[in-house]
Amino acid sequence: MGKSKKSLSLVLLTILLTIGIVGCSSDEEASKEVNMEELPDVEDYSEKLTLHLSGSFTQGEIEDDNWVQKKLEEMFNVEIVNTKLNTWNADETSLAVASGDVPDTFSFTSGTLTAQEMYDGGVTRTIPKEMIKKYAPRYSEMLDENQPGWDLNLLSGSNEEYIQLTGLQSHTKGILWAPTFRLDWLEELGIEPPGEIKPVGPDGGLERIYFTDEAYSLEEVEEILKAFTFDDPDGNGKDDTYGLLPYNNQLHWMTTIMGAHGVAPGYNLMEDDKLKSAEISNKYKEGLKLLAKWYDMGIVDPEWTTLDVEKAWEKYKIGKTGYFTAQRSYVAMEDWTKLRAPQNLILSDPDAKLLVTAPEIGPDGQQGEGSWMPVTLLGDGFQIAKDVTDIELARILQIFDYINHDDEARWTLYGEVGEHSEWQGTPEESAILVKEEYPAEEGDMGFWAYNFRTYPGERLKWLTSEYTFNLMEQFFAKPEVVEEMAIRPYRYDLFEETKGLELEKRYSGQLDTIVDEFRMRAIVGEIDVDKEWDSYVENWLNNGGQEILDELEKAPKVSDLLAE
Amino acid sequence: MLLAPMILLAIFSYGPMYGLLIAFKDFSPGLGILESPWNNFEHFKRLFDDFLFIRALRNTIIISLLKILISFPAPIIFALLLNEVRHMKFKKVTQSISYLPHFMSWVILSAMIVEVFSPERGIVNYFITMFGGDPVHFLASKSAFIPILIGTDIWKEIGYAAIIYLATMSSIDTGLYEAAEMDGANRFHKMIHITIPSIMPMIIILFILRLGSVLNAGFDQILNLYNPLVYEVADIIDTYVYRAGLEQFQFDYATAVGLFKNVVGIILILGANAIIRRKSEHGIW
């Protein structure tokens, strides 16, 4: 009996200890005033520090003592502990945050909480402006040059403390998406391109991809899709082709079609003097009706409802689809888009030819697509864990500033050009490709392992082929094109001054379900869009949508933000 | 001797249970489980205010009951049939083939199922069109989706689930069969009057335990097979909470749902056990 009691006591003690250990959380104030005089000088790396680092490209593939790690350790007198977490996996990042087990630096691609929530939840610390200016001068310069730079990511109620560092998303400048058509099919069917066409590049498949800055109208696209479906464009004598191949987990396939109706899914707009979410606007409704009509005509591949984007790319490669929406980098055959449509088809079928046009022209003459970044090119967040000390932060900022903003740090991304990587085209003027014998990211070389998703200075060139730049120059990033075709939200809470994010988090599960279900059922003709529209909108508004829109009214207008 | 397992059980099974507290709190990772503020049952109120959750609850119960009704007896029947096979090689091969799908994840199986039922390439539609019919997009059809769920669930688990019944059958006293034979019983009589009564306690125990997971209608299977077109019949509690809770970092909300499911499960187990105890001598407790 005595022994049983002792055993029971031990078990209870163990439980209590477990609770104590796991449940114990410090409520220390993560933001406190920093004494700059106590901090080391810039480039004073005399004290060896241990840092747990990760970056935007950390996907759990890193090997210890990799090439980049060793060089950084020597340069900054630190011992780097690698992060084996896949920061692109929402389940893994959520668990890391929930358990408080985050690295000293991180930038999760698959989102969990907003920067403010991370800070409020005690996961991250603030970064004093003084420290940024002292230890990250190049980053500071980037903020000076890109408005609203220093005004972003401020801790609520403070002008001196930042809840995260931000990045320059220069790779998203301009518009990204364009419709592509099988040019060999168009030729077979005797359909003329809408304007003068030029090959995107000289060889490697680029000579079979043609671009024009003119566009078909939606009526013309409809006729083309019909011909692609019913007129045997591949000449095999079988009825086995389709015009359009959508997918069920993203909306990029409809971005230019909706743009032709003047609406960008995911954004808000003013319609009939009311602030509306795109998904409950009449413009979106008209877009849905057109897609439903196309489905009814049989020109949409019916299998799309069970295909995600990756399966759709695989299906496109078989060569039975005539139309696909693609990013400018896909049609410029950037190396990282090899598996994506339409590059995968060009690589596998030497006879396939493509036509890339400007976004389709809608009923009111509108052309466009949702702008990738709603307001500014500054975006994404690099966060510092709560337990990082000021001395550690000083070193982290210097590493961050060097590897992300100093062009000399190119080796952290591509190794030594010539040895580990090579120029895709003209040296210093084209993209850099890591040689096949080395891992492009992480692994034993550690490329990209500690970097943040930011592309200031020369960096955009290193990851962008000259053909993408040509396309940007000719069309996609031309100021007049961006002005006319980039659809931005009407209001946007750029400085996170409202409770919009909190409400979105709370209601997005319900609202996404309502929207996804209605969209898909509408397109495949299970419901009559006109008949069901009002109840759908009411349902959306009653399940959190109205609350979100009311909160959004407090956010600034994007036009005002841009004017500022 | 029992101390070590008890400690392990305490640490890994009972210790973490205090995390259930976050079902009643606004969980903040920085504050931790104990320090996060109580929220006056907000998550539970939200659950029952949400018409999509109610729909998911309805779907979960329907799918689960159908699985209990159809999938649960399937391995029993399969085991009974297999038990009657006298050709040992055939019996072993059949058994091995039948439990192979159990070892494959739903991610892999769902890819196979999508191909089998594809309106363009699937073998099912190949036969339909061969006989002059129009292809059917089964996985996008509300009326076909649930039968596919049940059918594929049986296909995946029938062999593995039958093992326990076959093992129980192997322990039946052969003297009973011999005595029945002397009384003139045929194989069907022996199955009805000896085999089934002998495995009945096992059937009842497994049935009671299965009732406990009545609100688990098959998350992996459905997540990998469904799409918004069949949400109306296929969106279950787990898939809805995955989208609305876990993907939005609402662990507290997801825990509240988990707790709700477990409370329902334990009520069903206790209730079923009590009823069965009253009507027969079988039962878990």
Q: Residue B61's pLDDT is what?
A: 93
Residue A292 clears pLDDT 60, i.e. is over it: yes
- Nearest CB neighbour to A19, from listed B18, B119, B243: B18
pLDDT tens digits for range A119-167 = 888 889 999 999 999 999 999 999 999 989 999 999 988 889 999 999 9
**pLDDT of A20 strictly over 50:** no
Test the A interface: residue of B248, B251, B255 with most A CBs within 10 Å: B248
The correct answer on CATH 1.10.10.10 for the domain covering B40-279 is no
| Residue B15, pLDDT score | 85
Interface check for A10 against chain B (CB to CB < 8 A): the answer is yes
Given a cut of 70, whether residue A424 has pLDDT beyond it is yes
Is the pLDDT at A413 greater than 90? The verdict is yes
Looking at chain B from residue 199 to 218, which residues have their Cβ under 8 Å from any Cβ of chain A? none
User: Looking at the partner chain, which of B7, B31, B50 has a beta carbon nearest the beta carbon of A11?
Assistant: B7
So what's the pLDDT on residue B279?
A: 74
pLDDT tens-place string over residues A243-256? 999 999 999 999 99
List CB contacts (< 8 A) between B231 and chain A. 513, 516-517
Q: How far apart are CA B41 and CA B36, in angstroms?
A: 14
pLDDT tens for B102-146 read 999 999 999 999 999 998 889 999 999 999 998 899 999 999 999
Residue A25: pLDDT above 50?
A: no
Instruction: Tell me whether residue A437 is exposed, middle or buried, using C-beta atoms within 10 angstroms of its C-beta: 0 to 12, 13 to 18, 19 or more.
Output: exposed
- Identify the band that residue A32 occupies on the pLDDT scale cut at 50, 70 and 90: low
Closest residue by Cα to residue A113 from B252, B146, B230: B252
- pLDDT tens-digit series, residues A474-500: 999 999 999 999 999 999 999 888 999
CB contact under 8 A, B227 and A248: yes
Checking if the pLDDT of A6 tops 70, the result is no
Q: What is the pLDDT of residue A112?
A: 63
* Contact at CB, A123 and B52, closer than 8 angstroms: no
Residue A23's pLDDT is what?
A: 41
Which one of B34, B228, B232 has the shortest CB-CB distance to A23?
B34
Three-state SS annotation for B90-142:
HHHHHHHHHHHHHHCCHHHHHHHHHHHCCCCCCHHHHHHHHCCCCCCCHHHCH
CA torsion sign for B89, B94, B95, B101 is: positive
Q: What percent of chain A has pLDDT over 70?
A: 94
The class (CATH top level) of A36-170+379-457 is alpha beta
- Per-residue pLDDT band for A38 (boundaries 50, 70, 90) equals confident
Pairwise CA distance, residues A451 & A131, whole Å? 20
What's the pLDDT band for A27 if we cut at 50, 70, 90?
Answer: very low
Q: How far is it, in rounded angstroms, from Cα B237 to Cα B62?
A: 12
Token pair 């069907």 is found at B188
What are the chain B neighbours of A7 within 8 Å (beta carbons)?
Answer: 2-3, 6
What local confidence, expressed as pLDDT, does residue A142 receive?
Answer: 96
Dist. CA B159–CA B88, nearest whole Å? 16
CB contact under 8 A, B249 and A505: yes
Residue A79 pLDDT: 97
Q: Average pLDDT of A188-199? A: 96
Task: Name the A residues in 504-523 with CB < 8 Å from any B CB.
Answer: 505-506, 508-510, 512-514, 516-517, 519-521
Tell me what the mean pLDDT of segment A409-418 comes to. Answer: 95
Task: With a cut of 60, say whether residue A7 has pLDDT above it.
Answer: no
**Contact call for residues A245 and A315 (beta carbons, < 8 A):** yes
Among A200-204, A223-227, B45-49, which is the least confidently predicted range?
A: B45-49
Q: Tell me whether residues A121 and B249 touch, CB distance under 8 A.
A: no
> What is the predicted pLDDT for the residue at A36?
83
Q: Which residues in A lie closer than 8 A to residue B243 (C-beta atoms)?
A: 509, 512-513
Mean per-residue pLDDT, B2-9: 89
CA distances to A50, A70, A106 from A78, in Å:
6, 9, 17
Confidence at residue A505, expressed as pLDDT on a 0 to 100 scale: 83
Task: Read off the pLDDT band of A540 (50, 70, 90).
Answer: very high
Q: What is the DSSP letter of A447?
A: B
CB atoms within 10 A of CB A38: 8
Q: How many angstroms separate the CA atoms of A239 and A519, rounded?
A: 28
A261 or B279, which is more confident? A261
Select A177-370's CATH number: 3.40.190.10, 1.20.1250.20, 3.30.420.310, 3.50.50.60. 3.40.190.10
Instruction: Express each pLDDT in A59-73 by its tens digit.
Output: 999 999 999 999 999
Three-state SS string over A125-172 comes to: CCEEHHHHHHHCHHHHHHHHHCCCHHHCCECCCCCCEECCEEEECHHH
Q: Where along chain A do the CATH 3.40.190.10 domains lie?
A: 177-370
Q: In this predicted structure, what is the pLDDT of residue A16?
A: 42
Give the pLDDT mean for B32-59: 90
Q: How far apart are CA B225 and CA B140, in angstroms?
A: 10
B119 has a chain A CB within 8 A of its CB: yes
Rounded to the nearest angstrom, the minimum Cα separation between B227 and chain A is: 6
Alpha-carbon span A333 to A502, nearest angstrom = 39
